[in-house]
Structure 1
């Protein structure tokens, strides 16, 4: 049987019999260990690109998300060690012995990679930073200091996550796409990407920008308003627009709400990005 079939069978049994960690068989845990190993090698992933850019180009693998949830439901919380620090979790941290052979670096004192996370070739993880179970980080991507990559988030190749950037995770509902940051994206320091938002390839996002489906993206290229995604090849930043609360007596000076403005990526900005990549190489 395939790994997907094994996970499907376990999921159906778990849903039917309400299995908990005390009733899990050793063979079930062997299947889950195989599943985590497949995530770590990139053999399987929570969502995959079907070609192109944007939300319609991605499909979620529900069974992969189910496999992650099974790891939480069928394992006991155990005391574990991270250096001199004791912690308690159902999953250990990921073995990082394979990273050096692929040119990937994780600096000391606080780069934390949970089991079931994938890091590609020539990646850099600066401390402190955290990559959660089910996340996929593509080749040549920088995860900078104080960054968090949430469960099942899909980060493309050649991406730069600026310092103190939060990439949210979407584990449930299993049918929903996770946060996706496509190839070549640069997120400025302090950005937040949440709730299944899709950042289109080769876009450059200004510092402290919040990208979430609840905040509109005013795309001045196609002259449309988008929710839940930033089109490819855009330069985006936060601006404030008038709110419907503006005429409320408590807002004598007017009320405003955040929005994202998207423009064409300017060629000189692209050149600056290429210069930075050259320095890293």
Structure 2
């Protein structure tokens, strides 16, 4: 067990036994700042893949929550805008040296977020505390990357995409978008859903554990995950209330259909890469 982990777990124990923001002093805040710096450096993550499965690091999520429980709301100024929060925004001076750029007029990166090298964050976009954004990833305009969400390398998040956050319960795995995934504009991924490596998801697709994924490759229905190397899109299937008198012509519910990633889809994403590099 790392020293940082044991220190955070000890602080959590004290918090559960009555420690408040009024009681916390320089030692406690130095530990919380060290923890946030470790998140921003990618040294600790809210979730990691072990034996092929994504598992939450509960102590990391506890550390994130302690930054809310043991800090008071304060006035801050960023870019001439006043706001009130328990934390200031993340410093971004380290980004240019790693080839990463964040455009002005609304790009917000909260403290405790990791941003990889050669990444692009287009305004207005928001990356929350504990999120991990991998190398070469595009976070497009109006995107939200929620707290503790894990975004892999060379991912494309289409404009107006929502990646949900999961902090509580601490043992719950957050949303995961694995390497080389492309999400079309307007997608929503929530509640710990895992999008497998190399998948391409059509515009306005909702991925959540409550909506079934009909995988036509393996011919099975699954929940909470999209397998690797799939092309996914929304379709509607017959609902169990379809024969109700209120529904003239039947009722339908959303579902996700997954097929092989097609060659023309890969060519289209390659063209996007070429445009982006230029």
TM-score range, shorter chain: over 0.9
Give 1:89's aligned residue: 85
Structure 1 unmatched runs, 5+: none
User: Which of structure 1's runs of 4+ aligned residues deviate more than 6 A?
Assistant: none
Cα deviation, residue 84, structure 1: 2.2
1:84-116 alpha-carbon deviations (Å, 9 max, x no partner): 221110010000000000000000100000000
Q: Secondary structure at the match of 1:116?
A: coil
Give yes or no for the alignment of 1:280 onto 2:267: no
Give 1:215's aligned residue: 211
CA distance in 1, matches of 2:199, 2:215: 12
Cα deviation, residue 162, structure 1: 0.2
Give 1:125's aligned residue: 121
Which residue of 51, 55, 58 corresponds with 2:54?
A: 58
Cα deviation, residue 51, structure 1: 5.3
Give 1:108's aligned residue: 104
Give yes or no for the alignment of 1:7 onto 2:8: yes
Structure 2 unmatched runs, 5+: none
Cα deviation, residue 268, structure 1: 1.9
Give yes or no for the alignment of 1:29 onto 2:25: no
Give 2:180's aligned residue: 184
1:150-172 alpha-carbon deviations (Å, 9 max, x no partner): 00000000000000000000000
CA distance in 2, matches of 1:252, 1:150: 39
Larger deviation, residues 78-87 vs 105-114: 78-87
CA distance in 2, matches of 1:272, 1:147: 21
Give 1:154's aligned residue: 150
1:11-43 alpha-carbon deviations (Å, 9 max, x no partner): 1111122x2211112100000000000000000
Cα deviation, residue 230, structure 1: 0.4
Q: Secondary structure at the match of 1:49?
A: strand
Matched residue count: 276
What is the TM-score of this pair, normalised by structure 2?
A: 0.97
1:31-80 alpha-carbon deviations (Å, 9 max, x no partner): 0000000000000010012254xxxx212110000000000000010011
Q: Secondary structure at the match of 2:160?
A: coil
Which residue of 129, 137, 143 corresponds with 1:141?
A: 137
Give yes or no for the alignment of 1:196 onto 2:197: no
CA distance in 2, matches of 1:102, 1:120: 8
